[in-house]
Amino acid sequence: MSYTGAKNIILASGSPRRLEIMRTHGTEPLVIPADCDETVPPYTDVRNVPMEIAARKAHAVMDRLSREVCFALPEEPVIVAADTIVYQGEIPGRGVIMGKPRDHEDGRKMLTSLRGTHHFVITGVCMIFTSTGEERVFSDLTRVWFKYYTDDELNSYLLTDEAYDKAGAYAVQGTFGRYVERLEGDFENVMGLPWYRIEEELSK
Protein backbone atom coordinates (compact mmCIF):
# COMPACT_ATOMS: atom_id res chain seq x y z
CA MET A 1 0.00 0.00 0.00
CA SER A 2 1.32 3.46 -0.88
CA TYR A 3 1.17 6.12 1.81
CA THR A 4 2.23 9.03 -0.41
CA GLY A 5 -0.30 11.84 0.05
CA ALA A 6 -2.05 9.49 2.48
CA LYS A 7 -5.20 10.15 4.45
CA ASN A 8 -4.37 7.31 6.81
CA ILE A 9 -1.84 8.96 9.11
CA ILE A 10 -2.34 9.23 12.85
CA LEU A 11 -0.42 12.18 14.27
CA ALA A 12 0.57 11.28 17.83
CA SER A 13 0.86 14.90 18.87
CA GLY A 14 -1.31 17.83 19.88
CA SER A 15 1.19 20.29 18.38
CA PRO A 16 -0.55 22.81 16.10
CA ARG A 17 2.74 23.34 14.28
CA ARG A 18 3.11 19.66 13.35
CA LEU A 19 -0.50 19.56 12.20
CA GLU A 20 0.08 22.71 10.14
CA ILE A 21 3.09 21.15 8.42
CA MET A 22 1.13 18.02 7.49
CA ARG A 23 -1.75 20.10 6.16
CA THR A 24 0.66 22.24 4.14
CA HIS A 25 1.79 19.06 2.41
CA GLY A 26 -1.74 17.88 1.66
CA THR A 27 -2.21 15.41 4.52
CA GLU A 28 -5.07 15.64 7.02
CA PRO A 29 -4.15 13.25 9.83
CA LEU A 30 -6.24 11.87 12.63
CA VAL A 31 -4.83 13.61 15.72
CA ILE A 32 -4.41 11.49 18.87
CA PRO A 33 -2.07 13.25 21.33
CA ALA A 34 0.27 10.92 23.19
CA ASP A 35 0.31 10.73 26.97
CA CYS A 36 3.69 9.39 28.08
CA ASP A 37 6.85 10.08 30.06
CA GLU A 38 8.96 12.71 28.29
CA THR A 39 11.87 12.67 30.75
CA VAL A 40 15.23 12.92 28.99
CA PRO A 41 16.82 9.44 28.98
CA PRO A 42 20.50 8.72 29.65
CA TYR A 43 22.41 9.05 26.38
CA THR A 44 25.79 8.88 24.71
CA ASP A 45 24.61 10.54 21.48
CA VAL A 46 22.18 13.45 21.87
CA ARG A 47 20.47 12.54 18.59
CA ASN A 48 19.06 9.47 20.32
CA VAL A 49 17.19 11.52 22.93
CA PRO A 50 14.29 12.80 20.77
CA MET A 51 14.19 9.46 18.96
CA GLU A 52 13.54 7.60 22.21
CA ILE A 53 10.90 10.07 23.37
CA ALA A 54 9.20 9.93 19.94
CA ALA A 55 9.14 6.13 20.23
CA ARG A 56 7.48 6.42 23.65
CA LYS A 57 4.82 8.66 22.13
CA ALA A 58 4.15 6.34 19.20
CA HIS A 59 3.86 3.29 21.43
CA ALA A 60 1.58 5.16 23.85
CA VAL A 61 -0.85 5.83 21.02
CA MET A 62 -0.47 2.28 19.71
CA ASP A 63 -1.32 0.94 23.17
CA ARG A 64 -4.29 3.27 23.40
CA LEU A 65 -5.65 2.03 20.08
CA SER A 66 -5.32 -1.56 21.26
CA ARG A 67 -7.43 -0.79 24.34
CA GLU A 68 -10.03 1.59 22.90
CA VAL A 69 -12.36 1.47 19.92
CA CYS A 70 -13.72 4.99 20.22
CA PHE A 71 -11.88 6.27 17.14
CA ALA A 72 -13.05 6.08 13.55
CA LEU A 73 -9.70 4.84 12.30
CA PRO A 74 -8.44 5.23 8.74
CA GLU A 75 -7.56 2.10 6.78
CA GLU A 76 -4.20 0.56 7.77
CA PRO A 77 -3.08 3.65 9.67
CA VAL A 78 0.53 4.66 10.21
CA ILE A 79 1.30 6.35 13.51
CA VAL A 80 3.71 9.30 13.30
CA ALA A 81 5.18 10.66 16.54
CA ALA A 82 7.86 13.33 16.93
CA ASP A 83 9.88 15.05 19.62
CA THR A 84 12.04 18.15 19.19
CA ILE A 85 14.91 19.41 21.31
CA VAL A 86 17.24 22.38 21.12
CA TYR A 87 20.84 21.45 21.86
CA GLN A 88 23.79 23.73 22.53
CA GLY A 89 27.14 22.02 22.22
CA GLU A 90 29.15 19.87 19.89
CA ILE A 91 28.06 16.57 18.39
CA PRO A 92 29.30 14.16 19.59
CA GLY A 93 29.81 15.65 23.01
CA ARG A 94 28.02 16.65 26.18
CA GLY A 95 26.20 19.91 25.77
CA VAL A 96 22.96 21.40 27.06
CA ILE A 97 19.53 20.09 26.05
CA MET A 98 16.80 22.71 26.12
CA GLY A 99 13.16 21.78 26.32
CA LYS A 100 10.23 24.12 26.90
CA PRO A 101 11.00 26.89 29.41
CA ARG A 102 9.43 26.56 32.84
CA ASP A 103 8.93 30.31 33.26
CA HIS A 104 10.15 33.75 32.18
CA GLU A 105 13.52 33.38 33.90
CA ASP A 106 14.15 29.96 32.36
CA GLY A 107 13.32 31.34 28.90
CA ARG A 108 15.63 34.31 29.47
CA LYS A 109 18.53 32.03 30.40
CA MET A 110 18.00 29.87 27.32
CA LEU A 111 17.80 32.72 24.82
CA THR A 112 20.64 34.64 26.45
CA SER A 113 22.92 31.63 25.99
CA LEU A 114 21.84 31.19 22.35
CA ARG A 115 22.25 34.76 21.08
CA GLY A 116 25.10 35.55 18.74
CA THR A 117 26.02 31.88 18.28
CA HIS A 118 24.75 28.62 16.82
CA HIS A 119 22.84 25.67 18.19
CA PHE A 120 21.20 22.50 16.87
CA VAL A 121 17.54 21.61 16.58
CA ILE A 122 17.02 17.85 16.55
CA THR A 123 13.68 16.20 15.85
CA GLY A 124 13.25 12.50 16.46
CA VAL A 125 10.50 10.66 14.59
CA CYS A 126 8.97 7.25 15.22
CA MET A 127 6.62 5.72 12.65
CA ILE A 128 4.63 2.55 13.30
CA PHE A 129 2.94 0.88 10.34
CA THR A 130 0.02 -0.79 12.08
CA SER A 131 -0.78 -3.18 9.22
CA THR A 132 2.62 -4.91 9.57
CA GLY A 133 3.90 -3.77 12.97
CA GLU A 134 6.99 -2.36 11.26
CA GLU A 135 8.65 0.49 13.12
CA ARG A 136 11.02 3.13 11.76
CA VAL A 137 12.85 5.58 14.00
CA PHE A 138 15.17 8.36 12.85
CA SER A 139 16.22 11.91 13.63
CA ASP A 140 16.88 15.02 11.61
CA LEU A 141 19.28 17.81 12.57
CA THR A 142 19.34 21.50 11.65
CA ARG A 143 22.00 23.99 12.71
CA VAL A 144 20.66 27.46 13.52
CA TRP A 145 22.62 30.70 13.95
CA PHE A 146 21.12 33.59 15.94
CA LYS A 147 21.93 37.25 15.53
CA TYR A 148 22.81 39.32 18.58
CA TYR A 149 19.70 40.76 20.23
CA THR A 150 19.60 43.14 23.16
CA ASP A 151 18.30 42.45 26.66
CA ASP A 152 15.41 44.83 25.98
CA GLU A 153 14.47 42.98 22.80
CA LEU A 154 14.67 39.68 24.65
CA ASN A 155 12.56 40.85 27.58
CA SER A 156 9.92 42.27 25.24
CA TYR A 157 9.70 38.94 23.45
CA LEU A 158 9.37 37.01 26.71
CA LEU A 159 6.31 39.09 27.61
CA THR A 160 4.49 37.38 24.73
CA ASP A 161 3.03 33.87 24.85
CA GLU A 162 5.15 32.58 21.97
CA ALA A 163 8.13 31.38 24.00
CA TYR A 164 6.51 29.10 26.51
CA ASP A 165 5.44 26.00 24.62
CA LYS A 166 8.50 25.78 22.38
CA ALA A 167 11.77 23.92 22.87
CA GLY A 168 14.51 26.50 23.34
CA ALA A 169 11.88 29.19 24.04
CA TYR A 170 11.43 30.31 20.43
CA ALA A 171 9.48 29.60 17.26
CA VAL A 172 11.46 29.95 14.04
CA GLN A 173 8.23 30.68 12.13
CA GLY A 174 7.08 33.24 14.71
CA THR A 175 8.15 36.73 15.69
CA PHE A 176 11.51 35.49 16.97
CA GLY A 177 12.36 34.41 13.42
CA ARG A 178 13.68 37.92 12.82
CA TYR A 179 16.70 37.00 14.95
CA VAL A 180 17.63 33.94 12.92
CA GLU A 181 20.73 34.82 10.93
CA ARG A 182 20.84 31.60 8.91
CA LEU A 183 20.23 27.90 9.20
CA GLU A 184 21.76 24.77 7.75
CA GLY A 185 19.22 22.02 7.19
CA ASP A 186 15.47 21.70 7.03
CA PHE A 187 13.36 24.68 8.15
CA GLU A 188 10.36 22.46 8.94
CA ASN A 189 12.56 20.34 11.17
CA VAL A 190 13.08 23.45 13.33
CA MET A 191 9.29 23.87 13.42
CA GLY A 192 9.04 20.33 14.77
CA LEU A 193 8.48 17.90 11.90
CA PRO A 194 10.96 16.96 9.11
CA TRP A 195 8.27 16.18 6.56
CA TYR A 196 10.68 15.46 3.70
CA ARG A 197 12.20 12.59 5.71
CA ILE A 198 8.77 11.29 6.64
CA GLU A 199 7.70 11.36 2.98
CA GLU A 200 10.77 9.33 2.07
CA GLU A 201 9.74 6.64 4.55
CA LEU A 202 6.10 6.71 3.45
CA SER A 203 7.02 6.29 -0.19
CA LYS A 204 9.18 3.20 0.39
Enzyme catalytic residues: 83
Q: Round to whole Å and give the CA distance between 95 and 86.
A: 10
What's the distance, Cα to Cα, between the start and end of the chain in Å?
10
Q: Which long-range contacts (CB under 8 A, 24 or more apart) does 127-135 make?
A: 127/58, 127/78, 127/79, 127/80, 127/81, 127/198, 127/201, 128/58, 128/59, 128/62, 128/78, 128/79, 129/76, 129/78, 130/62, 130/65, 130/76, 130/77, 130/78, 130/79, 131/1, 131/76, 135/55, 135/58
